């Protein structure tokens, strides 16, 4: 928990945990407090509470009750998108607004996909510690090299095409991200649970909803954002020209933050 003010409940993305940082500075500076639980299977949160997305959301409600918080803005990021959608759908009386950022909104990677098979090897609970230790180690010695190597996993642009969109702070920000990333049991749970999402869940969301997605996102396609916008009745869609999946980075990050703050202080 960080900041003082109106509460924002963040459902972090894949490979992350309660130590997530992207987008937080702008929220804190504009008078919001942020609650970030490690989602089921991540950090020190047990995988048992996340047998289903619905069950996990029941536990996040218990957290809010424990903190005596009656209503929250919900921010759901990347692989945390399905959790945010189920939470807003199932608990409208607790959800002041919903923000989907680079969010998964339908079945994502499938077992037959090469990326899914690779993730099952590199990021399962037995190997992920070593995978991230290797990534962090290389990052510490060669941060620019690692940024370039990882770039295609975040952006559909070639690195040279995106140079005018990349900020000087992006390389150290991604390096810091690589040092705090862990998958635990959570990431493979994320992959398997996206199939629980239905269009009915999207249609049942009634709170003001902001959907933000980069036009150049290679990790989660813009089809996820468009599907959410087509089915959430009180939604606004912003397709951004940021360089990729990490919409809080780059020369247009101020624009990203401005849209979020305007939404929370008006529609939200």
User: Which one of 16, 33, 38, 78 is the catalytic residue?
Assistant: 78
Establish if 154 belongs to a structural domain: no
Q: How many CB atoms lie within 10 A of CB 130?
A: 10
Closest alpha carbon to 54 in 88, 94, 13, 86:
86
Establish if 199 belongs to a structural domain: yes
Structural domain span for residue 254: 6-110+183-267
Helix locations, 76-207, DSSP H? 81-90, 114-122, 128-141, 143-154, 159-162, 170-180, 186-193, 199-203
Q: Would you call 192 a catalytic residue per the annotation?
A: no
Closest alpha carbon to 180 in 80, 42, 35, 11:
42
pLDDT of residue 110: 81
Angle, to 10 degrees, between the axis of helix 170-180 and the axis of helix 143-154? 80
Establish if 71 belongs to a structural domain: yes
Establish if 66 belongs to a structural domain: yes
- Please report which helix (H) or strand (E) contains residue 97, including its range: strand 95-101
pLDDT per position as a tens digit, 221-245: 999 999 999 999 999 999 999 999 9
Work out how many domains the chain is built from and give that number.
1
Establish if 256 belongs to a structural domain: yes
Cα–Cα distance measured from residue 193 to residue 61, given in angstroms and rounded to the nearest whole number: 19
Cα–Cα distance measured from residue 233 to residue 164, given in angstroms and rounded to the nearest whole number: 36
Whether the per-residue pLDDT at 59 is higher than 60: the answer is yes
Confidence of residue 30 (pLDDT cuts 50, 70, 90): very high
- Whole-structure pTM value: 0.96
Helix (H, G, I), strand (E, B) or coil at 214: strand
pLDDT (average), residues 200-220: 97
What is the CATH classification number for the domain harbouring 204? Answer: 3.40.50.1820
Mean pLDDT is lowest, of 32-36, 37-41, 213-217, 264-268, for 264-268
Cα–Cα distance measured from residue 6 to residue 211, given in angstroms and rounded to the nearest whole number: 20
Establish if 144 belongs to a structural domain: no
Q: Classify the C-alpha dihedral 9-249-13-54 as positive or negative.
A: positive
Establish if 257 belongs to a structural domain: yes
């Amino acid at each position: 928990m960080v900041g003082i003010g109106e509460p924002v409940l963040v459902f972090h993305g894949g490979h992350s945990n309660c130590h997530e940082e992207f987008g937080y500075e702008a929220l804190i500076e504009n008078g919001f407090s942020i609650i970030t639980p490690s989602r089921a299977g991540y950090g020190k949160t047990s995988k048992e509470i996340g047998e289903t997305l619905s069950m996990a959301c029941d536990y996040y409600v218990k957290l809010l009750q424990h903190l005596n918080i009656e209503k929250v803005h919900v921010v759901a990021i990347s692989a945390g998108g399905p959790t945010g959608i189920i939470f807003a759908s199932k608990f409208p009386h607790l959800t002041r607004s919903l923000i989907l950022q680079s969010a998964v909104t339908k079945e994502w990677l499938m077992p037959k996909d090469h990326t899914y098979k690779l993730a099952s090897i590199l990021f399962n609970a037995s190997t992920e510690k070593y995978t991230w230790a290797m990534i962090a180690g290389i990052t510490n010695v060669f941060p620019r090299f690692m940024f370039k190597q990882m770039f295609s996993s975040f952006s559909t642009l070639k690195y040279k095409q995106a140079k005018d969109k990349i900020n000087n702070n992006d390389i150290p920000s991604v390096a810091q991200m690589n040092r705090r990333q862990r998958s635990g049991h959570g990431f493979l749970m994320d992959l398997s649970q996206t199939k629980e999402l239905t269009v009915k869940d999207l249609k049942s969301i009634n709170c003001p909803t902001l959907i933000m997605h980069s036009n150049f996102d290679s990790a989660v396609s813009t089809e996820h954002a468009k599907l959410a916008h087509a089915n959430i009745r009180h939604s606004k869609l912003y397709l951004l020209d940021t360089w990729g999946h990490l919409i809080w980075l780059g020369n247009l990050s101020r624009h990203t933050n401005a849209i979020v703050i305007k939404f929370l202080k008006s529609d939200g």
